[in-house]
Structure 1
Amino acid sequence: MRRITRITTVGIASAALALSATACGKSSSEAGSSSTSDSKAVKAAIAYDIGGRGDQSFNDAAYAGLQKAEKELGVKGAEAEPSEGESDADKVQRLTALARSGNNPVIGVGFAYAPAIEKVAKAYPKTTFGIIDDTSKTGPNIANLVFNEEQGSYLAGVAAAKTSKSHTVGFIGGVEVPLIKKFEAGFVQGVKDTDPKAKVLTQYLTQPPDFNGFSKPDLGKAAAQGQLDKGADVIYSAAGLAGSGAIEATAKAGKWAIGVDSDQYMQKGLAAYKDHILTSVTKDVQGSVFNLIKSVKDGKPQSGEVRMGLASNGVGLAASNPAYTKMTDVIAAVEKAKKDIVDGKITVKTTP
């Protein structure tokens, strides 16, 4: 059963009680009668990024890691959802409540948690804090879980260029921030290295401090339609929940979409469009969350930069669509590019 702890601007004490009462797998009434042994169980928590659980992408990948830890490690999990338009102070309050409730580790899903984690980690030095997609804030009890997104995106560019009939492809970024620029840079380089004459249409949905580009599917849908109208027949979106709108528009037009973060061909919420999801650039967010939880449980908590790239299968390109697996020339080109990146023959740019 899905149990989400929602913390917005409630007081710290009441928030902590709410978290304790809604740990994954327990109703509030069950939690109220917890035994002493329950209170000593290892607990772990994740605080979701914009879009929350159900985004069919980034947040859901993190949740899958927590689920795996619950099943394989016997960990008691807790979750906390973001609120629209929240401040860093709201994030501090959420993370504080999670730490005060005894969760260890506490994981912030997304770079937006960096300032809050830096502050709360100092207040709870015995708790390990994980942050995904950020290295700007460090500390002895902070694990920076990061990925070479540009490498996976390069492979997507190769696949897009090899698949396109119009020699025009599209990239849609949710919000124009350095992280998403990495996706763009790798994708464009992969396209151009494969087909120098190809045209890459690039659009960002919003600019900071407006982060709706990660959460509004209608924005992604409109952007994709604009690129389709300009002749794009393969569109890659790095836009969280907003990317689902781009996938919908692309699929309805009978063109190819490329997903991100999770294998979006396999996501139930996108089942109606999966035949047009050529592939997805995957990040092993699930594995990074699970590994951090396991390290804490084993008494050897990770800290510092924990980077995952093509060489460690931390990023990659999904091959779930049977139509894609039949494209032997595309797969051969992707595999060659992967080998060349791992061997150091290709250096992928991190900025456009």
Structure 2
Amino acid sequence: MKRVLAAVLALAVVAGGTLTGCGEKEKTGKKDEKMSAAFICANLGDKSFNDIAWEGFKKAETELGMDIKVVEYGAEKSKMEPALVDVAEKYDIVAFEGGEFTEILEKHYEEFPDTKFVGFDIDPTYQVKMPNYFAINYMQNQGDYLAGALAAKMSQTGVIGFVGGAEVVVINDFLLGYVEGAQHADANVKVATAYIGDFVNSPKAKELTQVQMTQGADVLHQVAGAAGLGLFEACAEKTGIWAIGVDADQREYFAESNQKVADVILTSMLKRNDIAIFNILKETAVGKAQYGTLKRWGVKEGVTVIVKNDFYRQNVPQETQAYIDELEGQIAAGEITMDTAYGMQQEQFISIRESVKP
């Protein structure tokens, strides 16, 4: 029965006709000598989380000789399950983001015992029971602790901003780190917070950013995927404003296409999907990856850190740079800890968020 369901779901992918692939071969994966890996995501081109993850796959193609493919299911969540089943039939390793895919995998993993699955941004309390599943939790609250501390140090008004995509636990985890890092730098700091409601509505992100500017925010951080461009545009239209990006070095992404936007992005809080993905693909290829487990990676592993490029070094005072470096070392050593939204009661989270409201 499970095989019949898998076949039906795979046919649904073909019938839908909207999933796109890069580097697809006529028959890729299990029958080839080279190991193969597929990445399932909503879309590439976000200049953020998905794009940086795909860089890890491309590195595996170049350095490990893997066959790789990306499957983009778009905005229709109904395509997530057939996409997973389809690529699991053809590829040795299948990677994806989030708990929704994990729930789908729980229904199908036994159908594909020879396929390895990698999930990232997984709830740290998740108990892995699937022997062919490697779960990764990024401690983004650690990296955003550094971003918040930097924002508070760079602010001239004592008010900083945070624009998130959806009000979900992973975004709130960013926010908690951001708030607590800012308070470490300035006990009296205020943090304006807003949520777009999705990760694609750039005009709304711009509008919310402009509202926060009227509240005095002069350093603003976006954690909103592709929608974050709206925050950058708003910051670029006003003097004396800094922006902080997310997931990838977003200044680098815009340096050639939109210099005005690039020049307001002081730094970005990285979630080094590229490093994490490449490492797990490499370890899988040599048989060293510990499937059936969940790993938590953060500042210590160099996965959730802020960008310290030439632009950062030119625009952040040396004293502040030294302060951020010290904080980073303390977090890596376990000397500084911070709250996490995972497992936190909503009432407690709201209380923390409201306590720093301008």
So what's the TM-score if we normalise by structure 2?
0.84
Please name the residue that 1:336 is paired with.
Answer: 326
CA distance in 2 between counterparts of 1:222 and 1:85 reads 26
Indicate if the aligned counterparts of 2:150 and 2:324 stay in contact, CA closer than 8 A: yes
Indicate if the aligned counterparts of 2:135 and 2:294 stay in contact, CA closer than 8 A: yes
CA distance in 2 between counterparts of 1:36 and 1:280 reads 36
Deviations 1:195-235 (A, max 9, x none): 112110011122xxxxxx21221221111111112211000
Question: Secondary structure of 2:50's partner?
Answer: helix
Matches for 1:205-284 after TM superposition, within 5 Å:
205-206=196-197, 213-254=198-239, 255-268=241-254, 271-284=259-272
Specify which of 40, 56, 64 is matched with residue 65 of structure 1. Answer: 56
Q: Indicate yes or no: 2:209 matched with 1:179.
A: no
Give how far 1:18 is off.
11
Please name the residue that 1:127 is paired with.
Answer: 115
Q: Indicate yes or no: 2:293 matched with 1:307.
A: no
Distance 1:167 1:37, change over 3 A: closer
Amino acid at match of 1:225: Q
Q: How many residues align?
A: 326
Specify which of 28, 36, 44 is matched with residue 37 of structure 2. Answer: 44
Indicate if the aligned counterparts of 1:282 and 1:317 stay in contact, CA closer than 8 A: yes
CA distance in 1 between counterparts of 2:323 and 2:269 reads 16
So what's the TM-score if we normalise by structure 1?
0.85
Indicate if the aligned counterparts of 2:20 and 2:72 stay in contact, CA closer than 8 A: no
Please name the residue that 1:151 is paired with.
Answer: 142
Please name the residue that 1:140 is paired with.
Answer: 131
Matches for 1:91-102 after TM superposition, within 5 Å:
91-101=80-90
Deviations 1:71-123 (A, max 9, x none): 00111101111222423xx211101100112x121001334322122223232
Amino acid at match of 1:331: Q
CA distance in 1 between counterparts of 2:49 and 2:127 reads 21
Indicate if the aligned counterparts of 2:202 and 2:226 stay in contact, CA closer than 8 A: yes
Amino acid at match of 2:230: G
Matches for 1:292-303 after TM superposition, within 5 Å:
292-303=280-291
Question: Secondary structure of 1:64's partner?
Answer: helix
Indicate if the aligned counterparts of 1:310 and 1:342 stay in contact, CA closer than 8 A: yes
Question: Secondary structure of 1:331's partner?
Answer: helix
Deviations 1:176-205 (A, max 9, x none): 111111100000001111111211001112
Distance 1:313 1:229, change over 3 A: same
CA distance in 2 between counterparts of 1:218 and 1:71 reads 37
Indicate if the aligned counterparts of 2:38 and 2:94 stay in contact, CA closer than 8 A: yes
Distance 1:222 1:324, change over 3 A: farther
User: Aligned residues: percent identity?
Assistant: 32
Deviations 1:225-278 (A, max 9, x none): 111122110001111111121112112223100001111111146544111101
Indicate if the aligned counterparts of 2:21 and 2:72 stay in contact, CA closer than 8 A: no
Gaps of 5+ in 2: 1-7, 342-348, 350-358
CA distance in 1 between counterparts of 2:65 and 2:96 reads 21
CA distance in 1 between counterparts of 2:16 and 2:61 reads 20
* Worse-superposed segment, 289-298 or 55-64: 289-298
Distance 1:270 1:120, change over 3 A: farther
Gaps of 5+ in 1: 1-9, 207-212
Please name the residue that 2:337 is paired with.
Answer: 347
CA distance in 2 between counterparts of 1:61 and 1:323 reads 20
CA distance in 2 between counterparts of 1:278 and 1:130 reads 32
Distance 1:58 1:335, change over 3 A: same
CA distance in 2 between counterparts of 1:178 and 1:239 reads 13
Amino acid at match of 1:248: E
Please name the residue that 2:45 is paired with.
Answer: 54
Give how far 1:283 is off.
1.2
